[in-house]
Amino acid sequence: MDNFKEHIDDSINRWESNAAFWDDYMGDKSNQFHRELIRPFTETLLGNVTQHSILDIACGNGNFSRRLAELGAKVLAFDSSQTMIDRAIKRSDHFIKHIEYKVIDATDYNALVNLGVSNFHAAVSNMGLMDIADINPVISALTKLLKPSGSFVFSIVHPCFQTPGMKKYVEQEEVDNQIVARSCIMTYKYLQSESHFGVGIRNQPIATRYFHRSLSALLKLCFEKGFVLDALEEPSFKQNDHPGTFEWTDIPPVIIFRLKKQA
């Protein structure tokens, strides 16, 4: 798989530049996207976390780390952005005994393995892996960090529908006495891994650098490292609150995987 090593620093620096804006936007409880699409499914896939040691990879401002702590987990959360981690710590006063935050680059295999062999019941990464240039180190390190049968639950933008350069449009058709609107996606590339720019949140200071990987490229790497895929979700919104705009209802904007380390 392409490891995009030449883009590691740029992608990390871009996140550092956007971190304060991102944290202000997400706040303590994060946005609707997270609350409705990511959280409920991720929590279900993680199962019971009470008294479990959980690694939160690319934790951002710690919004899900705090949720895990509320559910009774002991959390080690890391991100490459110092500002994100500073903001996460500021927001986590009530959870100080349950969450430890660190600044770590997920492309640094040795730093990851230093977090402790067989130290974690599970790992999670919400909307993080498509922001990380080289995911070989983190997938490899997880085979060491997780306990036997430990799981890794992660979400990314859906690589089939949010491809580089894809276009979204809303078409209207008169059917009988109704004006019917359909949300459509036009895509022209998928299989080739690619680094591209995009907008994480409207009006963010600078573009995010994303790393597109097809499902087969992504999962091949995970299977080669010894993981098996045992659950998958494609969440979408139940309804569109802004009629006439593009709706992510029957097209899922994200995909969530649960991998298990083979015992």
**Helix (H), strand (E) at residue 89:** helix 82-91
**What mask, x for binding ligand SAM by CB under 6 A, covers residues 195 to 214?**
-----x--------------
Of the residues 60, 137, 164, 235, which one makes contact with ligand SAM according to CB under 6 A = 60
Of the residues 55, 76, 84, 122, which one makes contact with ligand SAM according to CB under 6 A = 84
Name 47's Cβ contacts closer than 8 Å, sequence gap at least 6: 151
Read off the amino acid at residue 10. D
Read off the amino acid at residue 21. F
Distance in Å, CB of 155 to ligand SAM, minimum: 8
Of the residues 63, 92, 151, 214, which one makes contact with ligand SAM according to CB under 6 A = 63
Distance in Å, CB of 15 to ligand SAM, minimum: 3
Please, what sign has the CA dihedral across residues 8, 14, 16, 19?
A: negative
Q: Which stretch binds ligand SAM (CB under 6 A): 121-129, 144-152, 165-173, 215-223?
A: 121-129
Task: Tell me if 256 contacts ligand SAM by CB under 6 A.
Answer: no
Decide if 68 contacts 4 (C-beta within 8 A): no
**CB-nearer residue toward ligand SAM: 60 or 252:** 60
Task: Tell me if 81 contacts ligand SAM by CB under 6 A.
Answer: yes
Beta pairing class for 53-57 and 74-79: parallel
Residue bearing tokens 């894809």? 166
Task: Tell me if 76 contacts ligand SAM by CB under 6 A.
Answer: no
How many C-beta neighbours within 10 Å does residue 57 have? 24
Of the residues 55, 123, 127, 254, which one makes contact with ligand SAM according to CB under 6 A = 127
Q: How far is the C-alpha of 1 from the C-alpha of 191, rounded, in Å?
A: 12
Backbone angles phi, psi at 53, to 5 degrees: -95, 120
Task: Tell me if 132 contacts ligand SAM by CB under 6 A.
Answer: yes
Distance in Å, CB of 16 to ligand SAM, minimum: 7
Task: Tell me if 128 contacts ligand SAM by CB under 6 A.
Answer: yes
Q: Give the count of residues interacting with ligand SAM (CB under 6 A).
A: 22
**CB-nearer residue toward ligand SAM: 131 or 247:** 131
Read off the amino acid at residue 171. E
Burial pattern 193-228, b for ≥16 Cβ within 10 A else e, equals: bbbeeeebeeeeeeebbbbbbbeeebbebbeebebe
Task: Kindly list the residues in this chain that would bind ligand SAM in the complex (CB under 6 A).
Answer: 11-12, 15, 30, 58-60, 63-64, 79-81, 84, 105-107, 126-128, 131-132, 200
